[in-house]
Chains A and B, each alone.
Chain A
């Protein structure tokens, strides 16, 4: 449920490094805790984000949650498919449910994130699953 090739934040986002870019989404734990996702709001292309700055929101039927960017950088892609199909976040959180791609400004920042093993331990300590 937590792929080994991703890095994870304490706010339950993941980032997958693809060359000098990073693809970002929310984790299995996050989508499960949210329940049915009904709305996703993503940033405009070109926006420059700092690490752990909020870049959008994800809304379930009941709740609104902020999204935090795992790495500083410029937004170069946003998954506009989610506007019409927000349920992809539940159905395929590491695939079709991705949210943005950022051009990573400082790869060293990624060392601050958790790997899959550390994230699973973090969830266990949090009382998650």
Chain B
């Protein structure tokens, strides 16, 4: 990821992180906490109890007007017309080639009002792309600076958030959201996340973020909640095989190659990248993103080469330890003929081929 020039941007929680001992790092142009107590402890807290994450660096773009749905449909690969009010959808912002400008979640507030949540490092690029590729009666607004976002993730999330809101949280199903008061302030409570765990993402005004963060820490303390940084966010999302833009998905790999065919709805009508994706679907992909587990001793890292019988067949896009699974896992693009579950190949680690094999994904799936 290329960091923009100039000073690092700060979320509304920056001072809170610094005061409470977070280790801060530059991330996509932002000054962000990479860890508090430690990545492994934070990871396990989220799987076993709960954790909170400052994800206020994420971007929010609103679409308002009679042509809002038409605009979203033209820009994204999933079918936003299937959304009910209060529903969320994972989708791709696609190029003409069917590759990713970004991945995003789409929220439907009303027939003429949608919101897209996008990656922090892509906010300016996405916003410009959306405006440049939209015609008609719709207003597209970048609301990122007016929006804070805190993720509460883990099996105890409902019990913790319940203490802070009158909303009926049980009525908010996975990938749905509700608007209501949290700590007495207007918020959007979305049952979504980037950890593979149950939980919520709470959108609110930046001025209330610190109060909510502290209230969640206090409410969650009896349950074992920990504040978490981007390090645990990354290990959690990898176990859940959720793609990371810039690693696993980018403008060089298509939605189909990324194994995200489930967010590709070719029958929905025209959208940017549809002809390329329809052609690729008919012809088949040459390479595909797979999940693998190390069979030998070693940790795969992004950009390590993948070999079969000494010949290069692909490259690792994400890799590392899976703290909950006690194994070392990774994602990578390989030639399609080597992508079947069970396929053995080698990861080239410091000039040594170390055995790995393709496994079913997600690596981790929570019990429901």
Contacts and interface: CB of A to CB of B under 8 A. Distances in A.
A62 B231 contact: yes
B299 A62 contact: no
Interface of A, secondary structure class, is strand
A34 B321 CA distance: 14
A64 interface: yes
Contact of B38 (A36, A41, A59, A83): A36
A27 B323 CA distance: 24
B350 interface: yes
A38 interface: yes
Interface string B31-56: 00011001110000000000000000
A121 interface: no
Interface string B19-40: 0000100000000001100111
A35 interface: yes
A62 B320 contact: yes
B301 interface: yes
Contact of A61 (B23, B40, B298): B40
A36 B40 contact: yes
Nearest to B25: A62
A83 B298 CA distance: 10
A61 B297 contact: no
Contacts of B231: 35, 61-62
Contacts of A39: 298-299, 321, 328
Contacts of B234: 62
Contacts of B40: 36, 38, 61
Contacts of B328: 39
Contacts of A38: 40, 299, 321
B299 A35 contact: no
A41 B349 CA distance: 11
B235 interface: yes
Contacts of A62: 34, 39, 231, 234, 320
Interface in A5-52: 35-36, 38-39, 41
B355 to A, nearest CB: 16
A52 B52 CA distance: 42
Contacts of B298: 39, 41
Contacts of A41: 298, 350
A128 to B, nearest CB: 13
A127 B105 CA distance: 40
A105 B39 CA distance: 40
A61 B350 contact: no
Given A61-B320, A62-B34, A62-B320, A35 B301 contact: no
A57 interface: yes
Nearest to B23: A35
A109 B298 CA distance: 33
A35 B35 contact: yes
Nearest to B352: A41
A61 B301 contact: no
Contacts of B235: 61
Nearest to A62: B231
A48 to B, nearest CB: 19
A85 B323 CA distance: 14
A35 B231 CA distance: 10
A74 B211 CA distance: 58
A100 to B, nearest CB: 17
Given A59-B299, A61-B231, A83-B297, A35 B38 contact: yes
Given A38-B321, A62-B320, A83-B297, A57 B39 contact: no
Interface of B: 23, 34-35, 38-40, 231, 234-235, 297-299, 301, 320-321, 323, 328, 350
5 contacts: A35-B35, A38-B321, A39-B298, A39-B328, A57-B350
Closest 8 CB pairs of A and B: A61-B39, A36-B40, A38-B321, A36-B38, A39-B299, A36-B39, A59-B299, A62-B231
Given A35-B35, A36-B40, A39-B299, 20 more contacts: A35-B38, A35-B39, A35-B231, A36-B38, A36-B39, A38-B299, A38-B321, A39-B298, A39-B328, A41-B298, A59-B299, A60-B39, A61-B39, A61-B235, A61-B320, A61-B321, A61-B323, A62-B39, A64-B299, A64-B301
